[in-house]
């Protein structure tokens, strides 16, 4: 979004949600930002559909400053390893979660309008002949040395634990036999030779 936005000099704080961007109240920033689209597979894996949201949903008005400024925030958070369709996207649709069939349904919501124009779209179905059968990339282990080291350390801990358990279960071979000289009582040498 940052690369396709018509304003390239936004600070990174705006894109992370920590800073606001303000425009004159007579201006609407919607034309500066792109439409966002997500392609999802249909139940029939040879088809897909596209849900789209317009900037009116993800560039959210927050507060007005004085009589002439309106400030907005970027309503999408980044993730390094997953795609989460959150409230910003879902408020433009009716979303139905069918847990029994393990599927999610989308329909355009008539409430998702700004100034009489819809801000969400659903298009499709499209064929997926040119798309990979599995859209989710498999997790590859880029640190094989760390995996080997972790397995080696777990094996070492297991061996040490096994040795300790064996030492607890085997009775000691040499037992110290107590004699009368080992007992400390009033007759012992410590008591007999005490300072008077």
CA distance 21 to 14: 7
Does pLDDT of 131 surpass 70? no
For residues 76 and 154, the model is more confident at: 154
CB 6 within 8 A of CB 32: yes
As given in the structure block, the two tokens for residue 147 are 């995996």
Confidence of residue 13 (pLDDT cuts 50, 70, 90): confident
Q: Which residues pair with 97 in a beta bridge?
A: 104
Band (190; pLDDT cuts 50, 70, 90)? low
Please give the pLDDT value at position 115: 79
Most confident of the ranges 8-12, 114-118, 119-123, 192-196? 119-123
Instruction: Quote the CA–CA distance of 74 and 77 in Å, as a whole number.
Output: 8
End-to-end CA distance of the chain: 92
Residue 96 lies in a domain: yes
Of 36-40, 107-111, 187-191, which range is least confident? 187-191
User: What gap in Å lies between CA 189 and CA 183, rounded to an integer?
Assistant: 10
Is 42 part of a structural domain of the chain? yes
Distance in angstroms (rounded) separating the CA atoms of residues 196 and 189? 14
**Is 73 among the domain residues?**
yes
DSSP string for residues in the chain: -TTTSS-TT--HHHHHTSS-EEEETT--GGGGSPPEEEEEE-SSTTEEEEEEE-HHHHEEEEEEETTTEEEEEE-----SS-----HHHHTTEEEEEETTTTEEEEEE-TT-EETTEE-EEEEEEEE-TTS-S--SPPP--S-HHHHHHHHHHHHHHHHHHHHHHHHHHSPPSS-PPP-GGG--STTSHHHHT---
In a domain? residue 174: no
- pLDDT over 70 (residue 192): no
182 within domain boundaries = no
CATH number at residue 81: 2.40.70.10
Better pLDDT: 111 or 177:
111
Among 52-61, 113-122, 127-136, the range scoring the smallest mean pLDDT is 127-136
Structural domains of the chain, count: 1
Q: What is the tens place of the pLDDT at every residue in 46-83?
A: 888 888 988 888 888 888 887 888 988 888 877 777 77
| Cβ–Cβ < 8 Å for 36, 45 | no
Mean per-residue pLDDT over the chain, rounded: 78
What range does the domain containing 123 cover?
12-127
The pTM of this model reads 0.55
**Residues β-bridged to residue 94:** 107
pLDDT higher than threshold 80 for residue 6: no
Question: Residue 30: inside a domain, yes or no?
Answer: yes
pLDDT band for position 156 (cuts 50, 70, 90): very high
pLDDT (0 to 100) of residue 161? 96
24 belongs to a structural domain: yes
pLDDT for position 103: 85
The pLDDT of residue 154 is 96
Does the structure show a pLDDT above 90 at 179? no
């Amino acid at each position: 979004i940052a690369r396709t936005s018509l304003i390239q000099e936004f600070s990174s704080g705006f894109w992370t949600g920590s800073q606001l961007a303000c425009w004159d109240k007579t201006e609407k920033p919607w034309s500066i930002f792109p439409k966002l689209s997500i392609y999802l597979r249909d139940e029939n894996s040879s088809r897909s559909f596209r849900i789209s949201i317009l900037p009116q949903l993800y560039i959210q008005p927050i507060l007005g400053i004085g009589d002439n400024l309106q400030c907005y925030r970027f309503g999408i958070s980044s993730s390094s390893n997953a795609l989460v369709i959150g409230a910003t996207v879902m408020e433009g649709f009716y979303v139905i979660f069918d847990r029994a069939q393990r599927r999610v349904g989308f329909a355009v919501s008539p409430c998702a309008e700004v100034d009489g124009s819809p801000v969400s779209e659903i298009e499709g179905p499209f064929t997926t002949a040119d798309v990979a059968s599995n859209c989710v990339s498999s997790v590859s282990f880029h640190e094989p040395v760390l995996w080997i080291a972790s397995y080696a350390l777990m094996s070492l801990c297991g061996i040490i634990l096994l040795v300790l358990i064996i030492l607890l279960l085997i009775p000691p071979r040499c037992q110290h036999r107590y004699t009368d000289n080992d007992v400390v009582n009033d007759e012992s040498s410590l008591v007999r030779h005490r300072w008077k």
